[in-house]
Amino acid sequence: MATSEPTASGADPDPNTANLRPSSTTYDQAWMHGCTRKLGMKICGFLQKNNSLDDKGRLAGQKNLLSCGDNSDSRFRRTESDFSNLYARDLLPAKNGEEPTIQFLMEVVEILTNYVRKTFDRSTKVLDFHHPHQLLEGMEGFNLELSDQPESLEQILVDCRDTLKYGVRTGHPRFFNQLSTGLDIIGLAGEWLTSTANTNMFTYEIAPVFVLMEQLTLKKMREMVGWPNGEGDGLFSPGGAISNMYSVMIARYKYFPEVKAKGMSAAPRLVLFTSEHSHYSIKKAGAALGFGSENVILLSTDERGRVIPADLEAKIIDAKQKGCVPLFVNATGGSTVYGAFDPINEIADICEKYNLWLHVDGAWGGGLLMSRKHRHKLDGIERANSVTWNPHKMMGVPLQCSAILVREKGVLAGCNSMCAGYLFQPDKQYDVTYDTGDMAIQCGRHVDIFKFWLMWKAKGTIGFEQHIDKCLDLSQYLYNKIKDREGYQMVFDGVPQHTNVCFWYLPLSLRGMPEGAERREKLHRVAPKIKALMMESGTTMVGYQPQGQKVNFFRMVVSNPAATQSDIDFLIDEIERLGHDL
């Protein structure tokens, strides 16, 4: 059986950077020759392709079926598809749509696997920055506008390439910009499968396997939190902010169940407590759920960003004296900026004393439960009533994957159920306690579990542990490298608790300048300036922000499994290269 020869070409060989035309190379895809029939279907070999998209003229109008060498069985035919003459309507479920469908999907997969390869290649850029107006004007034919008429599949493939080209490689070893970084291959495969299954978590009926995977995985997570036998409830929700919102809703339902039917007017003035360093979603939940953001009381922290328990107790007493009813305390397990872990045990003591709901927002730090070395930072989490834990952050699971875990069984369903008869019929033939939809504030719910389950299978708990330990080691490496280095000033002293390393970089012009308004003002502008230069050169990305009275500083975080010490070194070099002479 013959296949065509590879054709060398001098044109842009990179389908992700080439514009309008992909690789000018000619290539084959020879496929699935082992074919038999079953159930009347062809599980057949085809897809022998010889398609040069940059040579449209040559192929235009052609759609040849070529028999494969000495095998004239149509199951082994090869086809040339001319995507410029094919449209979405030619794909499945269209008649004869199978072949173009598989060919089209394989073209897409080629684009994606090229992107995956390049993501891990340090010689590629993290991003190719353009301003909004530039992209809106249309970059070299990349037109974002929608129209009434369909575009050819060739144009759709070009659109896919361009979308990736002008995006940001969040899996690049030098992308440190968010708490969620990296591109896990198993997780990616899991997401591809999830998209293909295209179902919905609300009933066992249409997602039997995923519903059970979620149940088993949540139980395992509750075991790691330390609740007896992993008992309790939980859900995967669309992100940590929603998980935190759940915790507030459940706490309210537990203490004031009448609010569900009667509204907030049935309860006294309820107050929530959370650290001034905590995630803004607690305040957002307070506003959304009808408590009011002013009734979310911010707790003072020590210099490392950890809640001061005495301040919590003082504010509880103060609130009670003002006629408010303390309801809920959020302890942060890994704060967004400092990576601080609140002292959960001391907070739990106070919650017990005053009979308050204790939530631990472990969206960022929850992953440390996987590490025998670091899980002590979450000591006391087993005393929490609810926990937020986002595997899509520290554990490298693709976005989105966030769990809300609840210690007491039943309260989540009690809080949210509306018993919609059209969806959650009690008279199904299976055990309908597996229908979890009525526990959620969502109706349809995306399948976030599979990628995580598959990663856990593929890595084992031990694999997550290794990843987490490595990220924390890398952070310590960075901390050791810069803590006494000229031009650096740490935002707080001491080894970071999590992978967050917060620091100012001082250009030469600022070193030795006396403290004061002028220095503050100038220093405030340094990080944004370096970040802008970084994005324009596209070499690396790291976050910055002010915090309280502290002017803009860099917040370095490591969650990217691809990062190594050399990437940390690179970041430092890059900051110095771009910032030294500011």
Cβ nearer to its own copies, comparing 21 with 459? 459
Q: Which two tokens stand for residue 87?
A: 């449209």
**Residues between 554 and 573 with contacts to its own copies, criterion CB under 8 A:** 555, 561-562
* Sign of the dihedral through C-alpha 477, 483, 489, 495: positive
Interacting residues of 527 by C-beta distance below 8 A, sequence separation 6+: 504, 505, 544, 552, 553, 554
Helices 185-197 and 449-482, packing angle to 10 deg: 150
Binding mask 502-521 for its own copies (x = CB under 8 A): --------------------
**Residues between 277 and 296 with contacts to its own copies, criterion CB under 8 A:** 279-281, 283-295
Asked if 322 is part of the footprint of its own copies (rule: CB under 8 A), the reply reads no
E strand residue ranges, 431-525:
488-490, 501-505
Residue 345 CB, nearest approach to its own copies (Å): 27
**Residues between 535 and 554 with contacts to its own copies, criterion CB under 8 A:** 535-536, 541, 543-547, 552
**Residues between 330 and 369 with contacts to its own copies, criterion CB under 8 A:** 336-337
Binding mask 33-52 for its own copies (x = CB under 8 A): xxxxxxxxx-x-x-------
User: How far is Cα 415 from Cα 419, in angstroms, rounded to an integer?
Assistant: 12
Cβ nearer to its own copies, comparing 94 with 310? 94
Q: Give the angle subtended at the CA of 170 by the CAs of 166 and 173, to the nearest 5°.
A: 120
User: How far is Cα 171 from Cα 186, in angstroms, rounded to an integer?
Assistant: 13
Q: Which of residues 19, 85, 105, 483 is near its own copies by CB under 8 A? A: 105
User: How far is Cα 544 from Cα 534, in angstroms, rounded to an integer?
Assistant: 12
Cβ nearer to its own copies, comparing 19 with 345? 19
Asked if 491 is part of the footprint of its own copies (rule: CB under 8 A), the reply reads no
User: How far is Cα 579 from Cα 575, in angstroms, rounded to an integer?
Assistant: 6
Question: Which amino acid makes up residue 14?
Answer: D
Residue 554 CB, nearest approach to its own copies (Å): 12
Cβ nearer to its own copies, comparing 475 with 552? 552
Of 113-121, 354-362, 371-379, 475-483, the window that binds its own copies (rule: CB under 8 A) is 113-121
Asked if 523 is part of the footprint of its own copies (rule: CB under 8 A), the reply reads no
Determine if the peptide bond prior to 496 is cis (ω within 30°).
no
**Residues between 210 and 239 with contacts to its own copies, criterion CB under 8 A:** 210, 212-213, 216-217, 220, 238-239
Size of the site for its own copies (CB under 8 A): 211
Q: Are 475 and 420 in contact (CB under 8 A)?
A: no
Question: Which amino acid makes up residue 340?
Answer: A
Asked if 195 is part of the footprint of its own copies (rule: CB under 8 A), the reply reads yes
Cβ nearer to its own copies, comparing 316 with 363? 363
Residue 341 CB, nearest approach to its own copies (Å): 17
Asked if 66 is part of the footprint of its own copies (rule: CB under 8 A), the reply reads no
Of 6-14, 326-334, 406-414, 487-495, the window that binds its own copies (rule: CB under 8 A) is 6-14
Cβ nearer to its own copies, comparing 49 with 383? 49
Residue 348 CB, nearest approach to its own copies (Å): 26
User: How far is Cα 450 from Cα 456, in angstroms, rounded to an integer?
Assistant: 10
Cβ nearer to its own copies, comparing 134 with 480? 134
Q: Which of residues 21, 59, 78, 102 is near its own copies by CB under 8 A? A: 102
How far is the CA of 296 from the CAs of 210, 276, 383, 436, 546, in angstroms? 36, 10, 22, 30, 21
Q: Which two tokens stand for residue 209?
A: 């396997």
Asked if 461 is part of the footprint of its own copies (rule: CB under 8 A), the reply reads yes
Counting Cα atoms < 13 Å in the Cβ hemisphere of 470 gives: 16
Residue 347 CB, nearest approach to its own copies (Å): 23
Q: Which of 336, 385, 406, 344 is nearest to 365 (CA)?
A: 336
Asked if 140 is part of the footprint of its own copies (rule: CB under 8 A), the reply reads no
Cβ nearer to its own copies, comparing 380 with 544? 544
**Residues between 246 and 275 with contacts to its own copies, criterion CB under 8 A:** 249, 259-266, 269
- Give the residue carrying structure tokens 């591809």: 192
User: How far is Cα 536 from Cα 539, in angstroms, rounded to an integer?
Assistant: 8
The three-state secondary structure class of 186 is: helix
